[in-house]
Structure 1
Amino acid sequence: MIYNKTERTIETDRLLLRLFNEGDANEVSRMCNNFNIYKSTLTLPFPYPLECAVSWIASHEGNFNSDRMYEFAVTDKVNGQLYGAIGISNKKQHKHGELAYWIGEEYWGNGYGTEAANAVIKFVFKEKGYHRVYARYFTSNPASGRIMQKCGMVYEGTLKDHVFKNGTFEDLNLYGIINPYEQA
């Protein structure tokens, strides 16, 4: 993971995580206007019109500048293809944040989510001084849980029937990791 503070980018073996820009809005809207993405995310609306993408992207720079949240476009570092999004909140008082991500369905199974999540976790531990990162996923979306496990996160519990979505209650599984780079 290579973080470029000036450009606000994170580079991995295959990916460039960068801030979203207005030019990404059409592709974000296209990828998110997918029931399979919607049903496995906590707050994404469906349908997902272009206006949602535009307003969401417009909030990113202010969030980043004020250290409220760090949101990145997950892109191919060679050709710039947009694969999805990853973000992490910043709860400064507690030195932790919640990780969230989505990858466009046509890119599932390529390891992009895991590679991006690993990079963002290292970024907040090394660059932002977080003590802990946590994430949650619906039991109905075990692939998201596998990403968390591959990033070294450990299971901390299940919130039973925690979310009512699409006419049914969903369990949320909680995973977390403590900063391994901190001095003891």
Structure 2
Amino acid sequence: MLFETNRLIMRDPQKSDFAAYFHLVQDEQATAWGAFGYQRPQTLTEAKSSFEKYYLDPLLGCAVLDKTNQQLIGVLTMMFSEFLGTWEVGYIFHSDYWHQGLATEATRGALRYLFEEQSAPYVFAELVAENQASEHVLQRCQFTYEGLARNAFNLRGVLRNQKRYGMTAAEFQQLRGSHQI
């Protein structure tokens, strides 16, 4: 286990997660914003490929399990850039688990883990500008809006604007000190 929150367990990916992973990447709503290299539900062949390429690599992220039933309900990505020494976070949750604050809880847990356990100097997230639900998660987690890159993401053949949010270690410490995160 990497870390846990009140309702979630974040642990390294396992090969035995494939059935739950396939269920996740079959969810049209969950995959709509481009998760794991696809922007639509994945076929079995595509899911096997993305499972091996993206999911099983513990350097890219972790499984998100519901504490009550130990079921995989999402994936939290935490990607380290050796060149910059910074971290990027992202997430995908099955739509059955939306609107419960779970993405916010997982992201806050990731921030604590990255800043406190990994000594991250900076953590950021990028999203398609129209993805308002993810933007609200980042705002609730107290990320700072840093800017807009025009035409930076190809979503189903259409170039879309991409927003970037970030947080420095000093900002995180200030939020922790005031119990805002």
**Percentage identity across paired residues of the two chains:** 24
Structure 2 residue 28 is the aligned partner of structure 1 residue 35: yes
Residues 44 and 38 (structure 1 numbering): CA distance in 2 closer, same or farther, change over 3 Å?
Answer: farther
CA–CA distance in 2 between the matches of 1:70 and 1:136? 15
Per-residue CA deviation, residues 89-141 of structure 1 (Å, 9 max, x unaligned), is 11134221111110101111011111111111111111111100000111221
Q: How many residues align?
A: 171
Deviates more, 1:125-134 or 1:15-24: 15-24
Q: 2:56 & 2:42 partners in 1: Cα distance?
A: 22
1:39, distance to aligned residue in structure 2 (A): 2.2
Q: Is the 8 A contact 1:9 1:19 kept in 2?
A: yes
2:51 & 2:82 partners in 1: Cα distance? 23
Quote how far apart the aligned CAs of 1:38 are. 2.4
1:118 match: secondary structure? helix
- 1:87 pairs with 2:77: yes
TM-score, with normalisation over the residues of structure 1?
A: 0.82
1:19 touches 1:60 (CA, 8 Å); kept in 2? Answer: no
Q: Verify the 8 A CA contact 2:36 2:50 in the aligned structure 1.
A: no
Write the distance in 2 (CA, Å) between the matches of 1:137 and 1:171: 9
User: How far, CA to CA, are the matches of 2:83 and 2:25 in structure 1?
Assistant: 32
**Is there any run of 5+ residues in structure 1 with no aligned partner, and where?**
1-7
Contact 1:26 1:53 in 2 (8 A): no
Q: Does 1:21 align with 2:14?
A: yes
**2:150 aligns to what?**
160
Q: CA deviation at 1:160?
A: 1.2
Deviates most, 38-47 or 170-179: 38-47
Equivalent-residue separation in structure 1 for 2:55 and 2:159 (angstroms) = 34
**TM-score if structure 2 supplies the norm length?**
0.83
| Contact residue 18 and residue 73 of structure 1 kept, 8 A | yes
Aligned mates of 1:172, 1:143 — CA distance in 2: 14
Unaligned runs of 5+ in 2: 175-181
User: Structure 2 CA distance, aligned partners of 1:21 and 1:53?
Assistant: 15
CA offsets 1:58-84 (integer angstroms, 9 cap, x no match) = 4679844xxxx2411111113112211
Distance, in Å, in 2 between the alignment partners of 1:164 and 1:34 is 20
Q: After the TM superposition, which residues 1-150 of structure 1 pair with which residues of structure 2 at under 5 Å, given as runs?
A: 8-41=1-34, 43-45=36-38, 46-58=40-52, 63-64=57-58, 69-150=59-140
